[in-house]
Structure 1
Amino acid sequence: MTTPLVFAHRGASYDLPEHTLAAYLRALDEGADGLECDVRLTRDGHLVCVHDRRLDRTSNGHGLVSARTLAELDALDFGSWHRADAPADDDPLDESHTRLLTLERLLDAVRSAGRPVRLLIETKHPSRYRGEVERKLVALLRRHGLAEPRPDHPVQVTVMSFSPLAVRRIRELAPALPTVLLLEVLPRWWPVGRLPFGSRIAGPGVDLVRNRPRLVPALRAAGNSVYVWTVNEPADLELVLATGVDGVITDRPAHALARLGR
């Protein structure tokens, strides 16, 4: 059985604030095969790594990410909210590593890692900017030479979305980019095993894998790869490893790597 890839979900986000440079650098240090991030567009057209539509949970700001400019977002604190009960003698985080992270800055960090790294980029929908999210993303990847995967390049990008239309846009804009259709539930219209718009990777949630034990075998039998999110608990990790998944997306990459003996 092939050893699955381990992807750090929003970085090493169990230990450090999600979507911060600190969390991603920790995941790279721990040996994660890849990183996962969510992207949204700011009001002035920049791609930033933020999961929620609103700022309230992960920063000291309020309101919609999409209504703020990059400069406005950059003034916010995206680190202090996380694990406020951490011991007082913990080393303080570098403030520059806990501010807003742009996708461009994350790409720079990945390219500076000095080893092969896979990057999973999820475009978030619904969005007031609709397809502009994918257009901006592909344009940025082209500037970095990452829109057409090359076997000899250390950075390999895959684009993910829960939106089949977003997946279709990526396939139209950059046909060579691998795509993942993320799944929280199984649509009634969906023939299990087949993925739309040229996707060859399915991204079911771990609850879906638990509740539909035939899902992963059906997907793999149809020739698809399977990346499962978000696998944090030991029992869930054992479950997905037993099904033979190709990728494990987790907030705790060091734990998954240790279980795999790596």
Structure 2
Amino acid sequence: MDTLFYAHRGSSHKFSENTRAAYLQAIDEGADGIECDVHLTQDGIVVCHHDPTVDRTSDATGLVSGFTLSQMKAMDFTGVIPSLIPEDYGRENEQLLSLAELFEILEERSRPIGLAIEIKHPSPFGHLLEDGVLKVLADNHFDPSTGTAGSKSQIAVTLMSFEPESLRYLSRTVNKDLLCQLITEVDASWVDELVSTGQMGRAAVYEVLYRSVAEGIEFIDQGGAGIIGPGVAWTRANEKIVREWLERGLTARIWTVDRPADAQYLVNLGVSQLTSNRPAELRRELEQN
């Protein structure tokens, strides 16, 4: 089928999210692409991790920005989805990856694949996060006009963020067709995640999130991004807007799609890319219908 299936933080229904095992599982299952989230460590390394803190995902507590990469490597990130990790998927202390190490994995598997990198904001390092990502991309033969990377140009890179200012910054050097503006409902769990960093109070967080959604829509409407990335719930609630974007020729990559009913709805809508925690199973379920 023409639909592309991206593995959300890897195959994160089988192994803990954003781990070596989850990424390798996604690649070996035949995912068309992998989605990862990135932050900067205290020593300036771009690391694959979703939350601004390690509290939910590891056996430690604290801000990602407060740890060095070596300190994070000493943590256990396998507890989100407790499961036996195959020997060739790495030892327990090898599960946390830097973005550079993720590229090494993609090189080792050496097959065509997409890589969607979500840049997480707000970041205490500001645009140093984007600069760090671009440095890793440059080290891996990234072409900012086509998005190809890897020694054989086998990796198709796109860059995503909920924060429009991040994409504006990237657009100075990267083709806008490679930029994905993420959009979602502003919910309590998202607010709690950002409040937990201690950088802003709850009212300020709500203000930032509502602003990013409004500015994200405006950014898309102004032609700033070639890819739209709303969540499933937002897409259903704003179907008319999504249809208009699709009619303009924009690519849609919708997340997080785990239910066949949602996937079929989106395919019927004209969505060509689905991000799922269970991409291989979802593909099979759609192909059987």
Is this contact kept in 2: 1:157–1:177, CA < 8 A? no
Give the one of 254, 260, 265 matched to 1:234.
260
2:24 is paired with a residue whose SS is helix
Is this contact kept in 2: 1:21–1:97, CA < 8 A? no
Is this contact kept in 2: 1:192–1:218, CA < 8 A? no
What is the distance in 2 between the residues matched to 1:164 and 1:189? Answer: 5
Question: Percent same amino acid at aligned positions?
Answer: 35
CA RMSD of aligned residues (A): 2.3
Q: Name the structure 1 match of 2:128.
A: 132
What is the distance in 2 between the residues matched to 1:150 and 1:125? Answer: 22
Is this contact kept in 2: 1:20–1:97, CA < 8 A? no
Q: Number of residues paired by the alignment?
A: 255
Give the one of 119, 133, 142 matched to 1:123.
119
Tell me: CA distance 1:211–1:143, structure 2 relative to 1, closer, same or farther (3 Å): same
Unaligned runs of 5+ in 2: 186-212
Residue identity opposite 2:221 in structure 1: R
Give the one of 247, 250, 254 matched to 2:273.
247
What is the distance in 1 between the residues matched to 2:215 and 2:168? Answer: 20
Shift of 1:73: 0.6
Is this contact kept in 2: 1:22–1:98, CA < 8 A? no
Q: Name the structure 1 match of 2:205.
A: none
Is this contact kept in 1: 2:147–2:178, CA < 8 A? no
Q: Name the structure 2 match of 1:95.
A: 91
Shift of 1:110: 1.2
2:239 is paired with a residue whose SS is coil
Q: Name the structure 1 match of 2:203.
A: none
TM-score normalized with structure 1 length: 0.89
Q: Tell me whether 1:187 sits opposite 2:186 in the alignment.
A: no
1:187 is paired with a residue whose SS is helix
TM-score normalized with structure 2 length: 0.81
Matches within 5 A, 1:209-228: 209-228=235-254
Is this contact kept in 1: 2:253–2:272, CA < 8 A? yes
Q: Name the structure 1 match of 2:165.
A: 165
Unaligned runs of 5+ in 1: none
Shift of 1:175: 3.7
Residue identity opposite 1:138 in structure 2: L
- More helix by percentage: 2
What is the distance in 1 between the residues matched to 2:107 and 2:229? Answer: 25
What is the distance in 2 between the residues matched to 1:207 and 1:137? Answer: 29
What is the distance in 2 between the residues matched to 1:107 and 1:138? Answer: 13
